[in-house]
Amino acid sequence: MNDPQRYWIAVASKDHVMRGVAGGFMQANHGKKAPLLRIKPNDWVVFYSPKQVLERDEKCQSFTAIGQVRDDDIYQVELADDFAPFRRNVTFFLGKDVSILPLINTLDFIQNKKSWGYPFRVGFFEIGKKDFDLIYKQMLNDNHD
């Protein structure tokens, strides 16, 4: 029996998410391997961007990409002498950015609506199918079955 499909949120600035989309890969929690070990092929990942650019203060507060994990490969890329992040291959789907603000009250993973940003602090976490379907529909104007 196959493992059930799971749904995840990865948190990163929009500029970093867009690098992943362009390259067909994802990173999580500053390139750590452990989060990537939790996901399986065909799992879905939604990318939430609190900021437009990591080093700046300009807010984004939107879901900025959505994709499906392609395979079991986890690989490391040396980007600098002191930075070699782990990555996974993802097939991204062309969607639109969706602000989280109008969705806060309907998303189950946000338990405290006043402190809605709290769940994103962990950087990578699983969500339920209901929340995923809501985000998917907003981003891709479609129904996910």
**Domain CATH number, residue 48:** 3.10.590.10
Residue 1 lies in a domain: no
Q: How far apart are CA 121 and CA 85, in angstroms?
A: 19
Amino acid at 141: N
pLDDT band at 1 (very low <50, low <70, confident <90, very high): very low
Residue 39 lies in a domain: yes
Residue 145 lies in a domain: no
Residue 131 lies in a domain: yes
At 27 the three-state DSSP class reads: coil
Residue keyed to tokens 């392609």 = 70
Q: Which two tokens stand for residue 53?
A: 């650019």
pLDDT band at 112 (very low <50, low <70, confident <90, very high): very high
Domain that holds residue 44: 7-140
pTM of the model: 0.92
Residue 83 lies in a domain: yes
Q: How far apart are CA 135 and CA 47, in angstroms?
A: 10
How many structural domains compose the chain? 1
Would you state the pLDDT for residue 3? 63
Would you state the pLDDT for residue 141? 80
Own/partner contacts of 70-79, CB < 8 Å, gap of 24 or more, are 70/24, 70/41, 71/41, 72/40, 72/41, 74/33, 74/36, 74/37, 76/33
Residue 124 lies in a domain: yes
pLDDT digits (tens, 9 = 90+) for 85-105: 999 999 999 899 999 999 999
